[in-house]
Amino acid sequence: MQYVQLHVVRYAAAILAAADGSKQTLFCEEQLCEEPLAYLIPDAARPGGGGQDVEQRPAMVCRTHAEEMLGYPPEDQPIFRRIQGPEE
């Protein structure tokens, strides 16, 4: 089971809605990446402050950078899926 607190979803949804409303395409937030957004990483961590601190905030990235952050390929996440029970 995975979970994301709804205020994180609202934060991301507001950014996406504003872009849609102004017909802007949003790109991956990693520097120099021009791939389209594909994943929300709710607890992405990066260096912050003087280099000793870690800053954590939601990130929206492309599939390639999601894989880099996770260390493995991200799964597709259908809104609905039915998992077949064991056959008798």
Distance separating alpha carbons of residues 33 and 10, to the nearest angstrom = 24
Report residue 84 as tokens: 């077949």
Stretch of 10-18, 32-40, 50-58, 73-81 contacting Zn ion, by CB under 5 A: 32-40
Residue 36 DSSP code: B
Residue closer to Zn ion, measured from CB, 11 or 30: 30
Amino acid symbol at 19:
A
CA 84, 2, 48: angle at the middle one, nearest 5?
A: 150
59 touching Zn ion, by CB under 5 A: no
Residue closer to Zn ion, measured from CB, 8 or 69: 69
28 touching Zn ion, by CB under 5 A: yes
65 touching Zn ion, by CB under 5 A: yes
35 touching Zn ion, by CB under 5 A: yes
